[in-house]
Amino acid sequence: MASFKIEGGHLLSGTIVPQGAKNEALQVICATLLTNDEVIIRNIPDIRDVNNLIQLLKDIGVKVSKEQQGVFHFQADELNLDYLGSEEFVQKCAALRGSVLMIGPLLARMGKAVIAKPGGDKIGRRRLDTHFLGFKYLGADFRQNPKTEVYEIAAKQLVGTYMLLDEASVTGTANIIMAAVLAKGTTTIYNAACEPYIQQLCHMLNRMGANISGIGSNLITIVGVKHLHGTAHRLLPDMIEVGSFIGMAAMVGNGIRIKNVSLRNLGIIPDAFRRLGVKIIEEGDDLYIPRQEHYEVDSFIDGTIMTLADAPWPGLTPDLLSVLIVVATQARGTVLFHQKMFESRLFFVDKLIDMGAQIILCDPHRAVVVGHDRVNTLRPQRMSSPDIRAGIALLIAAMSADGVSQISNIEQIDRGYEDIEARLNALGAHIERI
Ligand SMILES: CC(=O)N[C@H]1[C@@H](OP(=O)(O)OP(=O)(O)OC[C@H]2O[C@@H](n3ccc(=O)[nH]c3=O)[C@H](O)[C@@H]2O)O[C@H](CO)[C@@H](O)[C@@H]1O
Ligand SMILES: C=C(OP(=O)(O)O)C(=O)O
């Protein structure tokens, strides 16, 4: 298990370029399974989750070649069907949540998929009901082995239909769309998730010959086609990384420019930081975050205490609440965070409390942060990263602390942030991988 040793108290300045979006990458890489032709994807981040998924695709016979940093060619013209059912493949899938996104394309193309309960963050129960209910609507047969937690899905012919999803699941929606593009007839998905990740997937599929409309809304219509062909696709900048850098710039920045953020795809993210009082200047498609001597939490119009809560897109993504919490620890004022979607994502605040933050964890879903207004800086600590976003939040907290901190289990951070210590050290951070 690797660790970061962080010498805090250094101000960061300069320009940082966000990597390609992890969650989009996981979807569109799986979508390459839908055609015999070559698909080229650009701006692929060099991170653990994406690299593990690419390896899984190679294992099942997809030809993958790297043209240059971030540019990969995929060709799924000869898949190894026997390996798909093997114990080894099923176990490898279990290590990576993104592997679940292979089910839709495999079902559409091969008529069957076998997958173990996927891994990912330890952030509470993460059911897959929406995925399987969607496949069932399309006529698939679903079986679960309760002992091995292996799921088997099979269908001779998927047939389009109307479906109302039980919740707007991000990967669930992507999976159902990928299954429906080659189904017979028309599929209508209501209560669909509509994150930029999903929009990008739909645009790519349409360029491959699919017929998807309603992109960007929660009502998606897919007219099935007989086959898809190759295309080229470029990933958007990772909006969660952009948000993480805004948080970092607010806490320890001395003027930070985040380049080419694709502002119109950030949705409400910059405004969530602005509600904590963080000044963000939009310059073309860049964000410039000046040094924040002080920042003051907004209140609601009626004067009541600010609440920041997650919600399905275009609401605030749950993936940024951990970073927003760290930023709030040094704001002037009080804010209530309500993490509605996940059950265990707030427990990491214990570590911030150990660092001297004033936080009341009301219950697993709600935490009140009373900001220090920079009067007291956080204290250095030894801690472990429970999940990817808590990991980056703790890294930001450690960079702001006066002294040397250590964060273990940084493999969680590596799941989603490319070469993070080198990129932050280039701005003036003092982070060492040990
Ligand atoms: C690989 C990937 O893309 N992962 C993202 C994806 O995970 P993933 O697609 O697995 O997450 P889901 O959207 O399925 O659900 C996330 C959680 O939110 C709950 N839920 C979901 C929708 C809803 O309307 N109400 C509700 O309460 C679910 O029960 C679950 O506990 O979306 C999550 C929610 O944005 C993000 O945190 C993950 O980073
Ligand atoms: C929860 C996340 O990832 P995953 O869904 O892959 O666990 C995340 O990216 O914040």
**Which tens digit of pLDDT belongs to each residue from 139-180?**
999 888 777 778 889 999 999 999 999 999 999 999 999 999
The answer to whether 351 is annotated as binding is: no
Q: How far is the CA of 304 from the centre of ligand 2 (A)?
A: 32
Which ligand neighbours the alpha carbon of 267 most closely?
A: 1
Whether the pLDDT of residue 117 is over 80: the answer is: no
Which residue, judged by its Cα, is nearest atom 1 of ligand 1? 23
pTM: 0.97
Give me the pLDDT at residue 53, please.
Answer: 94
Ligand 2 interacting residues, C-beta cut-off 6 A: 49, 97-98, 120-121, 319, 388-389, 416
Partnered with residue 145 across adjacent β-strands are: 150
Give me the pLDDT at residue 151, please.
Answer: 85
Mean pLDDT (the chain, rounded) = 95
Quick check: CB of 171 below 6 Å from ligand 1?
A: yes
Quick check: CB of 22 below 6 Å from ligand 1?
A: no
The alpha carbons of the chain give a radius of gyration, in whole angstroms, of 22
Domain boundaries, the chain: 3-19+237-433, 22-234
What CA–CA distance (Å, rounded) separates 90 from 83? 9
Residue ranges of alpha helices (H) inside 46-128 are 48-59, 81-84, 87-94, 103-110
Determine the atom of ligand 1 nearest the C-alpha atom of 23: 3
CB half-sphere exposure, 242, CA atoms < 13 A: 28
Active-site residue, 121 included: yes
Note the pLDDT tens digit of each residue in 196-216.
Answer: 999 999 999 999 999 999 999
Q: How many CB atoms lie within 10 A of CB 297?
A: 22
| Sheet bearing 150-154, strands edge to edge | 112-116, 150-154, 141-145
Pairing state of beta strands 404-408 and 382-384?
parallel
Whether domain 22-234 has CATH 3.40.50.970: the reply is no
Which band of pLDDT confidence, cut at 50, 70 and 90, is reported for residue 84? confident
For residues 213 and 220, is the Cβ–Cβ distance under 8 A? yes
Note the pLDDT tens digit of each residue in 240-274.
Answer: 999 999 999 999 999 999 999 999 999 999 999 99
Query: With b meaning 16 or more CB within 10 Å and e meaning fewer, what string describes 118-131?
Result: bbbbebbebebebb
**ipTM rounded to 2 decimals:** 0.99
What CA–CA distance (Å, rounded) separates 112 from 188? 22
Give me the pLDDT at residue 20, please.
Answer: 98
Give me the pLDDT at residue 81, please.
Answer: 78
Least confident stretch, 61-75, 80-94, 351-365, 418-432: 80-94
Catalytic residue chosen out of the listed positions 46, 49, 82, 121: 121
Tokens, residue 337: 């965070």
Give me the pLDDT at residue 116, please.
Answer: 79
DSSP class of 302: T
What CA–CA distance (Å, rounded) separates 231 from 81? 24
The answer to whether 345 is annotated as binding is: no
What CA–CA distance (Å, rounded) separates 146 from 65? 38
- Give the type of residue at 423: R
Tokens, residue 375: 């009067």
The better pLDDT of the pair 401, 148 is held by 401
22-234 has the same fold as 3-19+237-433: yes
Give me the pLDDT at residue 83, please.
Answer: 84
* Residue 40 parent element (H or E): strand 38-42
Give me the pLDDT at residue 122, please.
Answer: 66
What CA–CA distance (Å, rounded) separates 23 from 198? 9
Task: Give the three-class secondary structure for 33.
Answer: helix
What CA–CA distance (Å, rounded) separates 339 from 62? 38
Task: Give the three-class secondary structure for 291.
Answer: coil
Whether the pLDDT of residue 414 is over 80: the answer is: yes
What is 325-370 written as a DSSP string?
A: HHHHTTSBSEEEEE--S-SSTTTTHHHHHHTT-EEEEEETTEEEEE
Widest CA span in the chain: 65
Which band of pLDDT confidence, cut at 50, 70 and 90, is reported for residue 59? very high
Ligand 2 test: best mutation among 415, 417, 418, most atoms within 8 Å of CB? 415
Q: Which CATH superfamily is domain 3-19+237-433 in?
A: Enolpyruvate transferase domain (3.65.10.10)
Give me the pLDDT at residue 121, please.
Answer: 66
Whether the pLDDT of residue 98 is over 90: the answer is: no
